[in-house]
Amino acid sequence: MKTLPKRVYGKTGIRMPVLALGGAGVFGNITNRKLGVEIIREAVESGVEYLDTAQQYRDSEDIFGEAIEGIRSRVFLSTKSDKRTYDGAKRELESSLRRLRTDRLDQWIVHHVSYPHEVERLFAKDGAMRAFQEAKEQKVVRFLGVSGHNDPAVLITMLERFPFDMVLFPLNPTEVHHPKSFMGDFFKLAQKQKLGLAVMKVMGIGRLVGQGKLTVSEAVHYALSHSIHTAVILCNSLQELREVVGAVREYKPLKPDQLRALEERARPLTQEIAGVYHTWP
């Protein structure tokens, strides 16, 4: 059986599998706990290490906490906080650790920073960035990151103001057609800073794949053919997980003309897909 390819996760130096498991969707509903636990554990057995969740995904942290009990050392555990104040972020970290049944995080992400006023609030004297810095200094958190899927200019400001270890942003064949594409100046800066580059929305929240659209393999191979390190993909069933794992194991880099062809096929879906997670100008 082929193993999942690995890439060095930016300046962290960690060799990271190129497939990571996202924690929204089915993992946000406690009534699906049994299925969620099964998906997570099978993902780990398939070679996935990076597990991505967030306080804002309802019951997700509780489900991940149950799933990784006894195998905590095998996973790279990442969660997020969208709190913008020091007290709010600190309380949320304590809650995340409790729900995830662990005493440490491999990564903690400032969640979906979208507007300039959020940046100023985060870096205020009583802003959340102080809680993020403290957590890393106290070794409760190993790496710090930031995520965004609305405006790359806002993420550029975040990267200029703080030495993050990673960044999480959208990448799929429609992204290059968007007026506020993350594949321009933002991507160049993130590469220059040698950050761990994790991407999301690889299948456009499911709207990019299906009959008359792209296949799962095409969407996954498109993302991995860029100089990113891992793709955070949501799987709502064991079948979806197995399809994605199979696509990653079969991955071969796409040539420039193949990338352009996928972008052109996806162009008609750009406004529909981006409207879900971008602010369309």
- What tens digit of pLDDT does each residue of 32-57 get? 999 999 999 999 999 999 999 999 99
Task: Report pLDDT digits (tens) over 143-168.
Answer: 999 999 999 999 999 999 999 999 99
> Dihedrals φ, ψ of 168, to 5°?
-115, 125
Q: Could you tell me which of 158, 4, 175, 25 has the C-alpha nearest to residue 84?
A: 158
Q: Which domains does the chain have, with CATH numbers?
A: 16-277 (3.20.20.100)
* pTM for this model (two decimals): 0.97
Token pair recorded at residue 238? 């064991």
Token pair recorded at residue 102? 């662990």
Task: Report pLDDT digits (tens) over 206-245.
Answer: 999 999 999 999 999 999 999 999 999 999 999 999 999 9
